Amino acid sequence: MNFSRSGLSVFAACLVLAAGPAAALDGAEAYKTKTCFACHGKDANTPIMPTYPKLAGQNADYAYNQMQDIKSGARANGQTAAMKGVMHLVSDEEMRAIADWLATLQK
**H-state helical runs in the chain:** 5-19, 27-33, 37-40, 60-72, 81-87, 92-104
pLDDT number for residue 15? 40
Rg of the chain taking only CA atoms, in angstroms: 18
With beta carbons less than 8 A apart as the criterion, state whether 101 and 58 touch. Answer: no
Q: What is the model's pTM?
A: 0.76
With beta carbons less than 8 A apart as the criterion, state whether 86 and 35 touch. Answer: yes
Could you report the average pLDDT of every consecutive run of 10 residues in the chain (107 residues)?
Answer: 44 41 78 96 96 96 97 90 91 98 96
pLDDT number for residue 20? 44
Q: Provide the residue ranges of all domains of the chain, joining segments of one domain with +.
A: 25-104
pLDDT number for residue 21? 47
Supply the CATH classification number for the domain 25-104: 1.10.760.10
pLDDT number for residue 87? 95
